[in-house]
Amino acid sequence: MTPSPVRRIHAAFAEAGVTGSLHAVDIDSGAQIDAGADRPVVTASVHKLCLLVALYRQGADAVVNLTERVECAVAGRTAGPTGLAALLDPVSLSLRDAAHLMMTVSDNAAADLLMARVGTDAVNRATASLGLEHTLALHDFAGMLAMLREDIGPDGPAALLTPHALARLRALDPARTNRTTPRDMTRLLTAVWTDEAAPAEHCAAMRRVMGLQVWPHRLASGFPFDDVRVAGKTGSLPTVRNEVGVVEYPDGGRYAVAVFTRSASTAANLPDADAAIGTAARMAVDALRAR
């Protein structure tokens, strides 16, 4: 007997040395694959999608002007390896360009510029209004990184080699950091792709910027076809690798997929763990298309 898609998905996670949860939904028919869809998970940088939606909703309501320019000084800039976070000089840019950097290269400094302008409460109101009952932002990305540094302690990354040190990291506990469930994230993606999250022109802008994400090694790795479009947002922390996104086929099929994983290893580079996100997503989408 052929194993069910859910069993094959969990087997793929296990083979890659991770545990994972997944939800996939056909945006147009509502058919779904549930492999831990309601399990609470830490979002890490996936929460930048929630911030993006809140920003564009405020733009639609004229609370903010998306072309408004903001200053990013060097002092106090949120740390990170990409975008504004990695630059050495002051920068001025529009809110929508900051959103571009936040989504395409997961720029922490750009995200916190937007969080300061939009507000954490507004992000939570936006997700709640769209029915995301288990999604909550508790802090910005500077706050998350500060919490991580505090919990790791003076020994730095070397401390992560012990299970005891990992267990005390609040950033890895959904009860104490920004959180969601896979089902909430596919609901949010569906709202963006069906123009429910904001007016049509603003949803189109969000879909466009998500399609420009530069990372091909997770969700997109499962769909190596020139005529299949993948738009997504990754999230990473020690042992955490996530991605949520929408896969669009040339025949019009549209599939929202959310994959959240934890690895036993704290290594920064785990290609098999990254690839498992694409493998699991492909299994889920293939099962939906077979229906």
Tens place of pLDDT for every residue, the chain, 291 residues?
567 999 999 999 999 999 999 999 999 999 999 999 999 999 999 999 999 999 999 999 999 999 999 999 999 999 999 999 999 999 999 999 999 999 999 999 999 999 999 999 999 999 999 999 999 999 999 999 999 999 988 877 777 767 677 888 999 999 999 999 999 999 999 999 999 999 999 999 999 999 999 999 999 999 999 999 999 999 999 999 999 999 999 999 999 999 999 998 888 899 999 999 999 999 999 999 998
Answer whether 238's CB lies under 8 Å from 262's CB: no
Give residues with Cβ within 8 angstroms of 257, minimum separation 6. 22, 23, 24, 186, 219, 244, 245, 246, 247, 281, 284, 285
Classify residue 62: in a domain, yes or no: no
Answer whether 91's CB lies under 8 Å from 110's CB: no
DSSP state, residue 136:
B
Domain count, the chain: 1
CATH, residue 188: 3.40.710.10
Classify residue 216: in a domain, yes or no: yes
Expressed as residue numbers, the domain containing 192 is 5-45+131-290
Classify residue 84: in a domain, yes or no: no
Classify residue 119: in a domain, yes or no: no
Classify residue 73: in a domain, yes or no: no
